[in-house]
Amino acid sequence: QVQLVESGGGLVQAGGSLRLSCAASGRTFSSYAMGWFRQAPGKEREFVTAITWSGGSTYYADSVKGRFTISRDNAKNTVYLQMNSLKPEDTAVYYCGAAYRATVQAVYAYSYDYWGQGTQVTVSS
């Protein structure tokens, strides 16, 4: 199985930046689309961004377009989320997920086979 561990979360002021990392175990990392979802207290988990297994396509929620960038390094079994111009409404636990050979389906939570434990991102106003 694939194990995912997120890191890089923390407390930042509005307008600041953070970079999240998701380190994956296993030898088949490149076979999975990788995505980031987030969940705030009292709210459902929502899609943030995803990247296909080849890295050829990326997808972003409208709320983060132009501010967040997803990338992956298959040689390091790691996916990254660069978050710029952070807003208080970005505050949430951010989860990394792996979806086997997903393409556009990576924008849907049901496509994911594995999830990390999450990392807290808090943006103060």
Taking only the tens place, the pLDDT of each residue in 43-85 is 999 999 999 977 789 999 999 999 999 999 888 999 999 999 9
The answer to whether the beta carbons of residues 47 and 107 sit under 8 Å apart is yes
Question: How does residue 89 score in pLDDT terms, banded at 50, 70 and 90?
Answer: very high
Q: How many CB atoms lie within 10 A of CB 109?
A: 16
In terms of DSSP bridges, do strands 68-73 and 78-83 run parallel, antiparallel, or are they unpaired? antiparallel
What is the pLDDT, as a whole number, of residue 55?
Answer: 73
CA distances (Å), origin 87, targets 8, 49, 50, 71, 98: 17, 16, 20, 21, 26
